[in-house]
Structure 1
Amino acid sequence: MKASLEQLDNTLNSSLLFRQFSLPYFDAPYHFHPEFELTLIQKSQGKRFVGTNIANFKEGDLVLLGPNLPHCWKNDGIGLEGTAQSVVVQFKENFLGDSFFQTPEMSAIQRLLKSAECGVVISGKTRDRIAKEIYFLLNVPPVQKILGLIDILNTIAISSDYSVIDAQAEKHQLASIDLERINKVYAYIIENYTQEVHLEMAAFLANMTETAFCRYFKKVTKKTFLDLVTEFRIKHACNLLTQTDKQVAEVCFESGFGNVSHFNKQFKSITGQSPLGYRKLFQKL
């Protein structure tokens, strides 16, 4: 599996797209595209991957993602047709002209779009209002869709109900050739990090020798391949510790680690807490 470059469908002769999906499961791979994307989950649950961030998602999840920010949604399982439902809005920043969002009146939206480079999740009353408006806009004329999208962006921008998903995303803005190559590797890790992940396969996906790949990966991402795999595994473990009552040993093995001692060491190194200490900390919140 590799991260694919998804192109906005221009065959509809429109500058933005509202699309509704009803599937047994979300089948889009870890991918990126030059458009902004606003995604509302109508039905389903599982894991949401944005950049290097892993989070649980469920019905009502609403996120705005910036251009070329890799992402995908992975369901907990495969159900019947209609088990996974979402509405996706895609648009380019210049869909109303190169300078539209640069005007003083659009300053709040401009700041929101900048934050979206790291992905933003919308919550609370703002999310509820936006969800209703998105449903309404699915079946209105194109001009009304445009006006509705501007209102949606402004509503989010002036609210306090959104937060950044992956603050690391803007630290390493990649050239297009690096973006496609590195995201093939990210996609491979996302599909396999709870099992065995092989450096040989990652190097193959990048079309490099293992030695050249290790140097290249560290230069581009500022971390080693093993560091990234461990980071995904620890984030998965954090979700299990806070969302389930599973024992530390179960969390260890389900997160892709081979032994509990190594897991405990890596967990404390990254989070500053032992697994049990981390769980207790969140239980107090």
Structure 2
Amino acid sequence: MKPQYERVTIPSGCSIRVYHRQLAQIPFEWHHHPEYELTLTMNSRGRRFIGDHIADYSGDDLVLVPPDMPHTWASTEPIDASAPQVAIVVWFGGDWARRMADCCPEFASLRTLLRRAAPGLRFSSEAATLMRARMAALLDQSPRVRLGAVLDVLVQLAEAQAEPLASPAAHKREARERGSAADVASHARASEAERLNRVLDLLDRRFHEPLRIAELCEVANLSERSLHRYFVRHVGESVGRYLNRLRIGYATRQLTDTRWPIALIATKAGFPNLANFNRQFLSARGITPGAYRRFFETHGHAPKNAAGTPQNLHTRPPSLERPVRRQRHKPSA
């Protein structure tokens, strides 16, 4: 069964992403992504699939999944039927964790954690209790508070007892596949994920420029139709909507971080027409750019009803919100 590639987006101004998932049943969604994933599953029973590892889980289940290892949970029932099943998910980049270890001796043990995590790790019930105790900070609206809680949890997990999950053959195979993918990243037959990442990198670097769809097709070595299909499948929205979100996000930051005139911000964000910028900003944020800036200057924070600000901890990244096609047959132990 081929795992679905998922793009996890780290919110602007954040080092990590936290997601508070609450639902009646955890569905089988076999997928992978280039970020590490730390997941605490609560009030749930079912089966856990990490690489070639398949096992039952119940209660507080704390697992660290390494980059690009296919994984999913699939629940059979809640422990308490009157409450939702819950997962606290933390996504973070390996490069970020290694930089923290390099620059701060206090976090040097993060390197140990990353090495141990190669096959995926299931932590002890004591470690799960530790993370549960940090839930309030992990779900705080302040990115700084969330980051502090995540770092505290990761450092303690570096020394915590844990069970390796995937077999050595499985995680070595994943490592070989990641290495092979890096070697052929510029090849015309690169995977969908590689093609998509080249397009996303171009958009992230040049969102403020007038971009033609032909340029994106060329960098991905795809037809316009295929590019649109890949983009919607993996990102969960069209190229145009994604590009517009980048531009509005940039403009939003400049409204609070600079004293630039709104017309200049619009131009720098990629909107040469001020009236169009005002319409697009109002549609995305529910408030005009001028009113947004005045509110921030008066209250010291963004309007709470401004869409997309701050990060919604209950919302998955766009590609992960996309419905995943159900499989008729799941792997069996």
TM-score, length of structure 1 as denominator length = 0.57
- Percent identity between the two aligned chains: 25
Aligned residue number for residue 38 of structure 1: 38
Taking the aligned partners of 1:29 and 1:81, their CA distance within structure 2 comes to: 24
Q: AA paired with 1:85?
A: V
Is this contact kept in 2: 1:24–1:81, CA < 8 A?
no
Taking the aligned partners of 1:179 and 1:54, their CA distance within structure 2 comes to: 27
SS in 1 for 2:94: coil
Aligned residue number for residue 100 of structure 1: 100
Aligned residue number for residue 111 of structure 1: 112
Pairwise CA RMSD: 3.3
SS in 2 for 1:192: coil
Taking the aligned partners of 1:11 and 1:28, their CA distance within structure 2 comes to: 26
Q: AA paired with 1:54?
A: I
SS in 2 for 1:131: helix
Q: Give the deviation of 1:92 after TM superposition.
A: 0.9
Aligned residue number for residue 50 of structure 2: 50
Instruction: Deviation per CA, 1:118-160: give whole Å up to 9, x if none.
Output: 111111322211221134321251112212211111111123x
SS in 1 for 2:26: coil
Q: AA paired with 2:140?
A: N
Instruction: Deviation per CA, 1:148-176: give whole Å up to 9, x if none.
Output: 211111111123x2121113233212134
SS in 1 for 2:117: helix
Aligned residue number for residue 22 of structure 2: 22
Instruction: Say if 1:24 and 1:34 are closer, same or farther in 2 by CA, change over 3 A.
Output: same
1:146-165 maps to which residues of 2 (within 5 A)? 146-159=147-160, 161-165=161-165
Taking the aligned partners of 2:23 and 2:15, their CA distance within structure 1 comes to: 25
Aligned length: 189
Instruction: Say if 1:28 and 1:88 are closer, same or farther in 2 by CA, change over 3 A.
Output: farther
Q: Please state if 1:131 is matched with 2:268.
A: no
Instruction: Deviation per CA, 1:174-195: give whole Å up to 9, x if none.
Output: 1346897xxxxxx99x8525xx
Is this contact kept in 1: 2:37–2:65, CA < 8 A?
yes
Taking the aligned partners of 2:150 and 2:21, their CA distance within structure 1 comes to: 19
Is this contact kept in 2: 1:22–1:81, CA < 8 A?
no
Aligned residue number for residue 274 of structure 2: none
Is this contact kept in 1: 2:100–2:108, CA < 8 A?
no
Q: Please state if 1:84 is matched with 2:85.
A: yes
TM-score, length of structure 2 as denominator length = 0.50
Aligned residue number for residue 235 of structure 2: none
Is this contact kept in 2: 1:23–1:81, CA < 8 A?
no
SS in 2 for 1:95: helix
Unaligned 5+ residue runs, structure 1? 181-186, 194-231, 237-285
Instruction: Say if 1:12 and 1:72 are closer, same or farther in 2 by CA, change over 3 A.
Output: same
Aligned residue number for residue 59 of structure 1: 59
Instruction: Deviation per CA, 1:199-228: give whole Å up to 9, x if none.
Output: xxxxxxxxxxxxxxxxxxxxxxxxxxxxxx
Aligned residue number for residue 329 of structure 2: 192
Moved more, 145-154 or 106-115: 106-115
Is this contact kept in 2: 1:51–1:71, CA < 8 A?
yes
Q: Give the deviation of 1:10 after TM superposition.
A: 3.8
Moved more, 86-95 or 75-84: 75-84
Unaligned 5+ residue runs, structure 2? 182-189, 194-323
Instruction: Say if 1:66 and 1:24 are closer, same or farther in 2 by CA, change over 3 A.
Output: same
Q: Give the deviation of 1:116 after TM superposition.
A: 1.4
SS in 2 for 1:47: strand
Taking the aligned partners of 1:158 and 1:140, their CA distance within structure 2 comes to: 28
Taking the aligned partners of 2:164 and 2:95, their CA distance within structure 1 comes to: 22
Q: AA paired with 1:144?
A: V
